[in-house]
Amino acid sequence: MDTLRALLETQPLFTLFLTIGLGYVVGEFSIKGVSLGSGAVLFVGLVIGGFAPKSSPPALLGTLGLLLFLYGIGIQYGAQFFKGLTSADGLRANAAAALGVVGAGFVSLALVPMFGVKLDESLGMFAGSGTSTATLQAIIAATKSDGAAVGYSVAYPFGVAGPILLIYMLSALLKVKVEQPPEKLIETAEIALKNGAFIGLRFSELTARLPAGVAIAAVRREHHNLLPGDDLVLHTDDVLLATSMDPAMLKDAAALVGELQPGRMTSHREDLDYARVFASSRAVVGRSLRDIAFPEGVICSIAHVRRGDADILPSSDLILEFGDRVGLLANRAQMKAIRRFFGDSIKGTAELSFISIGAGAAVGLLIGMIPIPIPGVGKLTLGLAALLLVALYLGKIRRSPPFVWTMPLSANLVLRNFGLTIFLAQVGIASGPKFFATVGATGISFLLCGVAILLALVLITAFFCLWVFKLPFDATVGIISGATGNPAILAFANRVAPTDRPDVGYAMIFPSMTIVKILFAQIAVALVGG
């Protein structure tokens, strides 16, 4: 055992990656569908740190990991975050989650005089109940002690499993039945123009009178398929290739314009052919469809966009992202030039600009150093919370030449999850010795304190969502997931409520509640700690 301890303490990088590997093995174990996932890395780190007290890698390594995690979150969810700050439902959702977070924070502060818990340990339990590693880092920096990591590690299991159990209980108590929405796929229809009211109109006049959600991708006239311009004058028996996410809308369009005549267009590809390309070129990524300038002489129409597992009906303000699969209609002779223009590279969709990451992170870190005076509190710095805010803004604007701020989703997930894993491993190993000493001295009392903080967070949030703001249940479970923070909770919420609202709620809430948690902890240290 002494030989193993000496190996771990003299080879910190080996210890770090051993912790990560073993942590994910432990995280795979599931009890009735509940698993710790990446959170298990922290507990393995605690065990290794307790066994080999001098094995901790440098703290800067953990901070770097957290930086990558926060930057990736901001870039991905920037648009949803700012939308949540302006929409009525988004404001209500953020208000409900903020009340839950602040309520949980006050419960954690009440533990200090009531049970004699140290402030850093109590705030650490607040961070662990909300599974917020960013808050943990802010508390450690503000208190200049590792007691917060001990409280965090004690409360973290309840922060993961507790919300899952409470969401299940809410679903059973309210007897909620959320129907699985239909798969988002674009449907097509070929409609022959028969209605005299449309004959002789320009194409732009026709599209303005079609049902909302119906688009025309091409027109067939005199045995030739062509891409319509706004000034194209419509003739009798023109065949329109209509697209929509709703088959009922296509039937309404057919009844309005003429009659369905399938097979007239799709079986003839000598003039227009269909191709699907990957968006991986800087010429298109980060640009709205209206701003895309095709090469001279190239004429094509974007029929649909597939992002992840969902189809998106193209609109002029739709902004392309790395890895979008774009369905195009164009002449076969121009396909090679079109593919070259879009990039059409799977490899390209996994690449990212380290220039953009470096510039964005540097600006966020610089702003985080600026002291902000708060009356009655003193001067506070936002630290990594500023980096998250900058990343959210960059994720919203997507590009500002010459920088493309967005990242391919696959690269973003790998970067931020690896960063989070490094942070959890480093903090766990560093906190191991004190964790076992504290738990041995306090026994079950710390565990009960963590449960009390978590109950305040989840129940206050759920109460305001469901009974004060009257938000739908599927939106509520997404908001609870964002307020508590752990992706495992969101995964369970998606099983209970299989719509897109849990994901949207999580995206709107998680970044803002991360900032609220960090600011609450910093203010608490400044006021109570002083």
CATH of the domain at 265: 3.30.70.1450
Q: Average pLDDT of 402-427?
A: 83
Residue 112 lies in a domain: no
H helix intervals, 130-232? 133-143, 147-174, 203-209
Q: What is the DSSP-derived secondary structure letter of residue 178?
A: P
pLDDT value at position 180?
65
Provide CB contacts within 8 A for 255, sequence distance 6+: none
Does 225 have pLDDT greater than 90? no
CA distance 497 to 4: 47
pLDDT value at position 20?
92
Residue 317 lies in a domain: yes
Highest mean pLDDT among 22-36, 51-65, 486-500: 51-65
Check: CB of residue 130 under 8 Å from CB of residue 455: no
The percent of residues in the chain predicted with pLDDT above 70, rounded, is 94
Does 421 have pLDDT greater than 90? no
Q: Three-class SS of residue 286?
A: coil
HEC assignment per residue over 370-423:
CCEEECCCEEECCCHHHHHHHHHHHHHHCEECCEECCCCHHHHHHHHHHHHHHH
Provide CB contacts within 8 A for 334, sequence distance 6+: 297, 298, 299, 300
Q: What is the DSSP-derived secondary structure letter of residue 239?
A: E
pLDDT in tens, 181-207: 666 678 888 899 998 888 988 998 888
Q: Which of 125, 66, 132, 72 is nearest to 97 (CA)?
A: 132
Q: What is the DSSP-derived secondary structure letter of residue 130?
A: T
pLDDT in tens, 372-399: 887 766 677 777 878 888 998 998 888 8
pLDDT value at position 331?
87
Binned at pLDDT 50, 70 and 90, residue 479 comes out as: very high
CA distance 140 to 466: 35
Residue 442 lies in a domain: no
Nearest 5°: phi and psi at 183? -65, 140
Q: Which burial class, exposed, middle or buried, applies to 213 when counting CB atoms under 10 A from its CB (0-12, 13-18, 19+)? A: middle
Choose between 212 and 339: higher pLDDT. 339
The percent of residues in the chain predicted with pLDDT above 90, rounded, is 22
pLDDT in tens, 239-292: 888 888 888 888 888 889 888 888 767 677 778 888 899 898 888 887 889 889
Supply the range of the domain harboring residue 274: 187-348
pLDDT value at position 469?
95
Residue 403 lies in a domain: no
Residue 286 lies in a domain: yes
pLDDT value at position 297?
82
| Cβ-based neighbour number of residue 346 at 10 Å | 11
Check: CB of residue 405 under 8 Å from CB of residue 75: yes
Provide CB contacts within 8 A for 267, sequence distance 6+: none
- Give the chain's domain count: 1
Residue 216 lies in a domain: yes
pLDDT value at position 350?
61
CA distances to 265, 275, 276, 311, 423 from 305, rounded to whole Å, are 20, 12, 9, 6, 36
Does 530 have pLDDT greater than 60? no
Q: Which residue has the tokens 């227009």?
A: 272
Q: Average pLDDT of 305-311?
A: 79
Mean of all residue pLDDT scores within the chain:
85
pLDDT in tens, 70-116: 898 888 888 878 877 888 989 999 999 999 999 999 999 999 999 88
Residue 415 lies in a domain: no
Residue 497 lies in a domain: no
pLDDT value at position 179?
67
pLDDT value at position 254?
87
